[in-house]
């Protein structure tokens, strides 16, 4: 068993090292792109006279553009590390515990507590990556400002920008420097060339006045990359071991020239108190608390280990495992096999669903995954040339983009189409069991249409009585005259959709007037002001709106939604002003907006439409409010699309009718936005714009336990 533990630990460590090499190469490519783009930006945007920088206003204005480059190039890299890198290492940890087997079965696999920890760790380390981006936005912007302030040559600024991003790895105009940089980049991870790489670094540092240890983005991002992968493994391993009751550890890893003395002694056995090299957790805490060394990190020794850039890991064991004779063998070739429990939270699934459902709906059981587990698995997904759609008659998901892991749009589209599948399958299921339908549908006996009995009397004294008729909600949702495969549970929300449609349409004139008044007032305050004064006025304008209690989001949440659309939050950017002001007045751009005659606070008349406000929203959210409001605000599907569907019994003069198309598209958009990236933010926004529809869709999913 001792040999098995050693091989399992080496398997985990090699997995980390493999990921570190892969993501460091990705980081190198990312920072090289950032370096080139920022230098190019500065070259184009900063005015010069005789080669010297001359205009402070341009130096200030460039900051949002620097941030936009970092957000666009660096943050997706960070997201991939924590999403894919951490996910793969979690599977390795789980496989280790399942292979050992000599612990309670419930702790051999990832528990709900483990999955919650993984989610929190992903968020924690993504924040650290993001902090680097924010810090270097400031550093790079300050470089531009300071060099402009003193009238530096552009070549001086260029060198400072490049080295602030890549240190000695920065691109140079000197071919000799570039050759050395390329050599270090290409061979830094080759132990056989370690001495030559160090020599190249020393030449760069001395002959070319470069520095690898200075404040540069590559250094900090690289350290977070290394430490995050290893600390994640250590934290999850520690957490699972605590659950399993394992209180002994052994220290594993290799020894290289830069290995710290403590780690060297732990690995070599010179600190051993037992022949088998095991330590209790209390003994480890004692060793760590009584020693100091360079690079030591604060925190739990079982997690931080030797400190920054430490390559070693603990394994948790039972001393009884080291009393057996003989060797254990196990095949530890990297496997892509899914290590989640055999009983999936998604129920019976096909191979496509097994792969893609966790990416869109997560790996922790929710009301959404519970609902999915109650419906039949899909046939194999179909690849189509363009677009995406669900076909109820065949119960098939059809997609053109299967890059669901790395592409947010593809992830949302998949979740959207799967929302249609849920909608139709639950409708079909309830149609087959009327009693279950009465229990599942909220307020099933609500009367949607009623014609009371009417008696008609004739002159000769005769009379006839026309019988009455009424239609309830359950009658309309489970309409026997319709094809069962065309039924959908979302129709049970028809009254709520109409209530929100009325609210949205009634707000349009008030919202457009308020939106226009706000922008006119802001423009008036800004006229004749300097750049700094305009910046202060616009910043206060946005802060006052966002900090108001009625506003649904905080500033960081606004930034996140805007970044999804590759828009940088910048008070001087009209897109930012439009987005925040549109949310305040509950507007979203509509392609069907008609000019309306309105009045300003001043009493002046003007014309405006919903084509003019709220351009920065995600298309899935725009489709959500578009489906509910019949495109009074929002967009996504044409009005002709909605009209071709069956009608529900809900209709109101001046507001139109609710069709099957309105309800199923709203339901599918709700499903996608409630499960994919930034779902908490979109839930707030959906509740703000369409509270009744959002509430009943939530309640429908909550009733999945009744199925």
> Which pLDDT tens digit goes with each residue over 23-76?
888 998 899 899 999 999 999 999 999 989 999 999 999 999 999 999 999 999
Residue 438 within a domain: no
Clarify whether residues 559 and 693 are in a common domain.
Answer: yes
| pLDDT, position 212 | 41
* 491/513 Cα distance (integer angstroms): 34
Clarify whether residues 463 and 388 are in a common domain.
Answer: no
Residue 116 within a domain: yes
Clarify whether residues 565 and 611 are in a common domain.
Answer: yes
- Which pLDDT band holds residue 592 (cuts at 50, 70, 90)? confident
Lowest mean pLDDT among 321-330, 452-461, 462-471: 321-330
Q: Which residues contact 207 (CB under 8 A, 6 or more apart)?
A: none
> Which pLDDT tens digit goes with each residue over 529-587?
888 888 889 999 999 999 999 999 999 899 999 988 888 888 888 999 999 999 999 99
> Which pLDDT tens digit goes with each residue over 243-300?
778 888 888 888 887 888 899 888 888 888 787 888 898 899 989 988 888 888 888 8
| pLDDT, position 637 | 93
Clarify whether residues 539 and 599 are in a common domain.
Answer: yes
- The stretch 661-674 carries a mean pLDDT of 97
Clarify whether residues 371 and 382 are in a common domain.
Answer: yes
Counting the structural domains of the chain, the total is 5
Q: Locate 414 and state its tokens.
A: 């998949």
Give one DSSP letter per residue of 44-65, joined into a string: HHS-EETTEE--HHHHHHTHHH
* 148/60 Cα distance (integer angstroms): 10
Sign of CA dihedral 166, 171, 176, 179: positive
Residue 12 belongs to what domain range? 2-221
| pLDDT, position 181 | 65
Highest mean pLDDT among 86-95, 307-316, 399-408: 399-408
Clarify whether residues 428 and 451 are in a common domain.
Answer: no
Burial of 420 (0-12, 13-18, 19+ CB in 10 A): buried
Higher pLDDT, 415 or 482: 415
- The stretch 12-23 carries a mean pLDDT of 86
- Which pLDDT band holds residue 211 (cuts at 50, 70, 90)? very low
Clarify whether residues 142 and 254 are in a common domain.
Answer: no
Clarify whether residues 474 and 541 are in a common domain.
Answer: no
* 473/650 Cα distance (integer angstroms): 10
């Amino acid at each position: 068993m001792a040999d098995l533990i050693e091989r399992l630990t080496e398997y985990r460590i090699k997995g980390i090292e493999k990921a570190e090499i892969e993501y460091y190469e990705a980081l190198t490519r990312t920072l090289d792109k950032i370096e080139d783009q920022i230098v190019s930006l500065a070259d184009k945007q900063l005015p010069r006279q005789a080669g010297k920088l001359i205009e402070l206003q341009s130096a200030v204005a460039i900051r949002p553009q620097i941030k936009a480059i970092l957000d666009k190039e660096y943050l997706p890299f960070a997201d991939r590390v924590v999403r894919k890198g951490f996910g793969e290492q979690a599977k390795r940890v789980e496989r280790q515990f399942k292979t050992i087997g000599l612990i309670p079965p419930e702790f051999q696999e990832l528990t709900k507590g483990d999955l919650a920890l993984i989610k929190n760790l992903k968020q924690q380390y993504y924040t650290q990556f993001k902090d680097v981006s924010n810090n270097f936005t400031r550093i790079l912007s300050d470089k531009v400002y300071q060099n402009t302030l003193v009238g530096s040559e552009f070549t001086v600024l260029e060198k400072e920008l490049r080295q602030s991003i890549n240190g000695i790895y920065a691109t140079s105009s000197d071919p000799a420097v570039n050759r050395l940089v390329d050599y270090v980049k290409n061979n830094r991870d080759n132990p056989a060339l370690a001495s030559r790489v160090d020599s190249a670094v020393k030449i760069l540092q001395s002959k070319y006045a470069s520095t690898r240890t200075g404040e540069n983005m590559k250094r900090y991002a690289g350290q977070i990359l290394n430490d995050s992968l290893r600390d994640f493994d250590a934290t999850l391993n520690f957490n699972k071991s605590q659950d399993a009751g394992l209180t002994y550890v052994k220290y594993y890893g290799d020894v290289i020239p830069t290995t710290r003395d403590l780690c060297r002694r732990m690995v070599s056995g010179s600190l051993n108190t037992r022949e088998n090299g095991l330590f209790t957790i209390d003994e480890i805490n004692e060793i760590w608390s009584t020693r100091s060394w360079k690079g030591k990190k604060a925190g739990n020794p079982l997690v931080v280990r030797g400190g920054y850039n430490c390559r070693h890991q603990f394994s948790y064991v039972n001393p009884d495992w080291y009393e057996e004779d003989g060797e254990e063998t196990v095949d530890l070739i990297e496997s892509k096999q899914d290590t989640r429990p055999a009983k999936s939270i998604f129920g019976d699934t096909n191979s496509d669903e097994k792969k893609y459902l966790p990416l869109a709906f997560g790996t922790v059981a929710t009301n959404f995954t519970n609902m999915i587990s109650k419906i039949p698995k899909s046939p194999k997904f179909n690849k189509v040339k363009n677009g995406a759609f669900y076909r109820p008659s065949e119960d098939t998901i059809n997609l053109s983009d299967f890059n669901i892991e790395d592409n947010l749009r593809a992830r949302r589209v998949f979740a959207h189409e799967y929302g249609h599948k849920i909608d139709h399958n639950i409708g079909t299921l309830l149609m087959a069991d009327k009693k279950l339908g009465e229990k599942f549908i909220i307020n099933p006996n609500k009367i949607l249409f009623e014609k009371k009995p009417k008696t008609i009397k004739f002159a000769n004294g005769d009379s006839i009585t026309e019988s009455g008729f009424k239609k309830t909600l359950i009658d309309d949702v489970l309409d026997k005259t319709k094809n069962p495969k065309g039924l959908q549970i979302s129709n049970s929300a028809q009254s709520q959709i109409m209530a929100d449609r009325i609210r949205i349409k009634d707000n349009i004139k008030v919202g457009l007037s308020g939106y226009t008044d706000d922008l006119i007032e802001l423009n008036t305050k800004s006229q004749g002001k300097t750049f700094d004064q305009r910046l202060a006025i616009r910043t206060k304008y946005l802060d006052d709106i966002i900090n108001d209690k009625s506003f649904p989001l905080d500033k960081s949440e606004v930034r996140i939604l805007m970044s999804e659309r590759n828009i940088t939050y910048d008070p001087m950017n009209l897109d930012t002003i439009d987005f925040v002001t549109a949310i305040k007045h509950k507007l979203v751009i509509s392609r069907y907006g008609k000019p309306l005659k309105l009045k300003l606070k001043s009493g002046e008349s003007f014309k405006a439409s919903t084509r003019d406000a709220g351009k920065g929203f995600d298309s899935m959210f725009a489709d959500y409010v578009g489906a509910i409001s019949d495109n009074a605000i929002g967009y996504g599907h044409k009005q002709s699309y909605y009209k071709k569907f069956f009608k529900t019994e809900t209709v109101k003069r001046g507001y139109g009718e609710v069709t099957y198309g309105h309800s199923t598209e709203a339901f599918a958009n709700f499903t996608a936005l409630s499960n994919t990236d930034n779902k908490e933010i979109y839930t707030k926004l959906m509740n703000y714009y369409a509270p009744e529809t959002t509430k009943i869709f939530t309640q429908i999913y909550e009733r999945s336990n009744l199925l």
